[in-house]
A and B are shown apart, each in its own frame.
Chain A
Amino acid sequence: MTGLEALSAASALDLLAFSPPGWGAVLLAGLANSVVIALGAYALGFGIGIGGAFGKLYGGPILKDLLAVYTTIVRAVPELVLILILFYAFTGLLNEALLSWGYDRVQISPIITGIVVLGVVQGAYQTEVLRGGILAVPAGQIEAARAMGMPSVVVARRIILPLMTANALPGLANLWLNATKDTALLAVIGFSELTKATYQASATTKAFFVFYPAAMLLYLGISLTSTLLIGRIEKWARRGQRDVRG
């Protein structure tokens, strides 16, 4: 078939060219979508995670139980299933609520939907990682701050968050890599991120061995640069701490 012919270098470059009939621009647009969604979902997940972690540790009994249900369900059900449920439920319920209150339907852009859906998933994992990070902060530090009469919000902001960052970073880094890869799952609901763009390009041109390796390199690029950056951040977060790896 044409797959073998497409392996020749010249046609590969033609196929990846930025202007049509090359598909380079489509792939890069898909990459941009993937990155935007991963960043948005990660940020949203971090917000949920911070709230969830403090809630699990210092919240009331009802809040603690509800958070436990949330993290358990999200961690037990495949992301793909959660994405489908949230994808239909989020927009469907929102619109039903709006209609019943006498407003018009709203259209939510697929990017926002993707961010919310993956953000809710990320939130559950980040809750657990951040909770672990907070637990690893020496209790004496928190007690000392309380004894000095610091209000709890200040304790959280000035003592717990800075000290836990280093503990939580490896886990958070892993979750960031997961977030970038989980964007691929949106391909299954027809969203045009990098994996779907790759699929479309190769299904149309039959040049599987041009587009898949190219897209994999893009994903690898994200993960390798992330790893580099995270290494730097970790070094910064651990400043002033004794090296425990010695």
Chain B
Amino acid sequence: MKKLVLAAVAALAFGTAVAAAPLKIGVAAEPYPPFTSPDASGNWVGWEVDFLGAICKQAALDCVITPTAWDGIIPALTSGQIDIIMSSMSITAERAKTIDFSDKYYNTPAMVMVAKDSTITPDAAGLTGKIVGVQVSTTHEAYTQKYFAPVAQEVKTYQTQDEANQDLAAGRLDAVMADSIALQAFLDSDAGKACCKSAGNVKSDPAILGAGVGFGVRKGDPVLAKLNDAIKAVRADGTYAAITAKYFPFDIYGE
């Protein structure tokens, strides 16, 4: 208790948080451009990384990015290997049973991507009898299972979006469903240009696709309030818009 008081006093006196250990920010260990991806020198780059920098500066938090496997990212949070999830994770009721979410920090529609010469449409009729790939335990998988699984030949699940994209390029899939921005980034790359195109966005279903993307924290972790304040602050002072302009020609916050 004494320590806490001391820390609070020190924080007040010096105007900075006296955090003993830096906060570990869990990022899915796989490239998810343009939000999070490792560059050749092993640093994490992308919109979310820049955004995190702004948030941690705003909230005076000491943050380190900690790559974690996507499929174990929630257990990693609850078991204490990481402190915050920042991995383009959609806020869903199902996940909110296990972890707490911050306010959303971006929200973009979901898209279906297909091979260049394909005539598939992004609905159940178009995907009947096709092989559809999605990243495992994402909102897009839930959507695919509900709308497309009954008619598709097979729904294949992947640990990473990158693997699903690769398998579409390799002709092993007929279509991939995922976040429109992540897919657009792939379509803009050389590999994406060579193989694939957008079939359009899917019909929205907020109950499944969630209410945007937020930070995930352990239930009851007081850091949540700091994050929410910081999101509001960077939205208000123009930092958010400046970072977004570096990556996208439009606002990704959603309405």
Residues of A whose CB lies within 8 Å of any CB of B are 1-2, 19-23, 25-26, 29, 84, 87-88, 91-92, 95, 104-105, 107-108, 110, 113, 188-192, 196, 200-201, 203-204, 206
Q: In the complex, are the beta carbons of A20 and B40 less than 8 A apart? A: yes
Q: In the complex, are the beta carbons of A107 and B24 less than 8 A apart? A: yes
Q: In the complex, are the beta carbons of A1 and B40 less than 8 A apart? A: no
Q: A residues within 8 A CB of B169? A: 1
Please tell me if B72 contacts chain A, counting CB pairs below 8 Å: yes
With A203-B30, A203-B163, A204-B37 given, name 18 new contacts (CB 8 A). A1-B195, A2-B190, A2-B191, A25-B41, A29-B42, A88-B72, A88-B79, A91-B79, A95-B80, A107-B21, A189-B72, A190-B29, A190-B67, A191-B29, A192-B42, A200-B30, A201-B40, A206-B191
**What are 30 inter-chain pairs, A to B, with CB distance below 8 A?**
A1-B169, A1-B191, A1-B195, A2-B194, A20-B40, A20-B41, A23-B40, A25-B40, A25-B42, A26-B42, A84-B72, A88-B76, A88-B79, A92-B79, A92-B80, A95-B80, A107-B24, A107-B81, A113-B81, A189-B72, A190-B72, A191-B29, A192-B29, A192-B42, A192-B67, A200-B38, A203-B162, A203-B163, A203-B166, A204-B38
B1 to chain A, nearest CB (A): 11
Q: B residues within 8 A CB of A192? A: 29, 42, 67
Q: In the complex, are the beta carbons of A196 and B80 less than 8 A apart? A: no
Q: A residues within 8 A CB of B72? A: 84, 87-88, 189-190
Q: A residues within 8 A CB of B41? A: 19-20, 25-26
Residues of B whose CB lies within 8 Å of any CB of A are 20-21, 24, 28-31, 37-42, 66-70, 72, 75-76, 78-81, 162-163, 166, 169, 190-191, 194-195
CA distance A19 to B39 in the complex (A): 11
Of chain A, the residue at the smallest CB distance from B68 is: A190
A194 to chain B, nearest CB (A): 13
Q: In the complex, are the beta carbons of A22 and B40 less than 8 A apart? A: yes
Q: A residues within 8 A CB of B29? A: 190-192, 196
Q: A residues within 8 A CB of B80? A: 91-92, 95, 105, 107
Tell which of B69, B78, B162, B163 touches A188, judged by Cβ atoms closer than 8 Å. Answer: B69
B119 to chain A, nearest CB (A): 22
CA distance A84 to B76 in the complex (A): 11
Q: In the complex, are the beta carbons of B79 and A95 less than 8 A apart? A: yes
CA distance A105 to B72 in the complex (A): 19
